[in-house]
Structure 1
Amino acid sequence: MFAILGDIEFTVSGGITGMEQRGTADWAEHARIQGKPLLEWIGEGLDEINLNIELHPGLGDPGARWKALREAKAKHEPLALVLGNGDYLGPQVVADLNLQHRRLTATGQLASATIQLRLREYTGAFKRSLTQPLGLISPALSGTTAAAAGAPSLLSKFLPSPSTTQMIIGYAKTAANVLQAGRNVYDQVKNGNASMILGQAPQLLGVTSRAIAPLKSMTAVAGLLDDGADLAKVGDDVLASVNGARSSLNPVDLGNIVERFATSRNSLDQALQTMDSAQTRLAGLAAQVLTRKA
């Protein structure tokens, strides 16, 4: 299996011909007198993933596969994306879906086409509703050349409603993204003078506050797993470091801001290190989701 998006499976033998990943950063441009404009980093942009998919009767029912993708887009819900090697790319939304017809049957049915699928990173709290059985390849494959090729992953397999494991992965991904964005802000501020750092304190408090909710949710949901005590502890430890980073900046004044900022930055670095230490564990959970074990 190449990847799975929610309940929709993608395979190379099932028509995947290309994948492109794109990341951006937002920069504000400030005009300057008698000089070139100055760029100021604002924040990270949303990651995007583009997939190219070939539709052909030998790979499954083209109409059914196209319908599955359209229904996924119409639900307006983030879907977990996991690669075949177990890498979890986080929740994604279907931002663009384009179908290029190549051949139609005499009765107007889709016979051959190419799909361009654009996914965008979803950074909000990952809460998925009950899913309906959707498959990139329909069970109607029985008797086709794809089914004869002996690739069971080409067949639709239905997942229950979002599992505890999927929720943990989603909250952890959201928290990690927020923490990384926070460190980027700290890195932008660190070389400023005391007055400038003091002026940025509200922004620093704001960016760290966004990590609190997903960390609390991660800890709570991890406690529901039989073997989730280690992840619950990670959530608690990271949250403690985030709260330490925030308390170091509140209150502050011009006389102590430089020292307090350094302490706050160290606490945020500790939070990131603790979260990074759980990446192998989270990758294992993602692999369980991919193989339908969680």
Structure 2
Amino acid sequence: MHPLREDRDVPGWLASHGLPGLVDLHVHFLPDRVMTKLWDFFDDALTHYGTHWPIRYRLPEDERLATLRGLGVVAFAPLVYPHKPGMAAWLNSWAGDFARRTPDAVPTATFYPEPGAADYLAEALSAGARCVKAHVQVGGYDPRDPLLEPVWGLLAEAGVPAVVHCGNGPVPGAHTGLDVFAEVLARHPRLVAVLAHAGMPDYAGALDLVARYPNVHLDTTMVGVAFSEAMAPLPADWAGRLADVADRVVLGSDYPNIPYDYVEQLRAIADWASADDRLGPAFLRAVLHDTPARLLGLPR
């Protein structure tokens, strides 16, 4: 029987592996009215994505935080993202306030291709933001937009990780595709980029970018769980391919906006670790704690 069956199994499992807790690089907390609109969108996921997407942790903010902590999450990046101009600076202000009142939340920021984007992002970084989210699909923008050139340059210079949803999953967007974002990396090769959802569904292309650029990482968000396997299955040699980039894979969950229990993501990662002798406990510790902690600038 698998040791990870339910969420309540997670703390004991972490302790059995000597892990100090989970560091989740891909979590979403948003202003209440924005989160409500997002959940309304997922309620109609059958129209948008061709599948039902019931939000598993559709709870008030304080209960969502308590659930994360009960799972053993000791730090997380509460990612925010805009879907239109004039929204990013406001979200950055909200994210800063959220981090100040939530000790285990790392300050984050976002941006949109608009005049002044580099200025308000620089302000957020000066205020302590240590992770940035770029959602190419939801924003409907081209990451190669000239208005974003100073933004990518600023992030590359600062070494602040950008979690970038640029893959074609769950459905292609106007400017999604790893080949598009690869042009950004070609111009900013020092950029610390985390490919959200491991580039789903183009897992091979994501691994190629990791091999090509030393600061590119993958996050595990929704990767390898039954819900995603039905739409975008992993290649059969996935665990073996991770062995070559084991220090550049980080835990991401998409909590709370997932249609299954949080434990399912951890079970998938644990199964990868046991599928290849080169992975094992060292891989688990790197993915679940050490690598995301390093990217987020957490104290050792």
Tell me the TM-score normalized by structure 1.
0.28
Q: State which structure, 1 or 2, has the greater radius of gyration over its C-alpha atoms.
A: 1
Tell me the TM-score normalized by structure 2.
0.27
Return the structure number with greater strand share.
1
Identify which of structures 1 and 2 has the higher relative contact order when contacts are C-alpha pairs closer than 8 Å and 6+ apart: 2
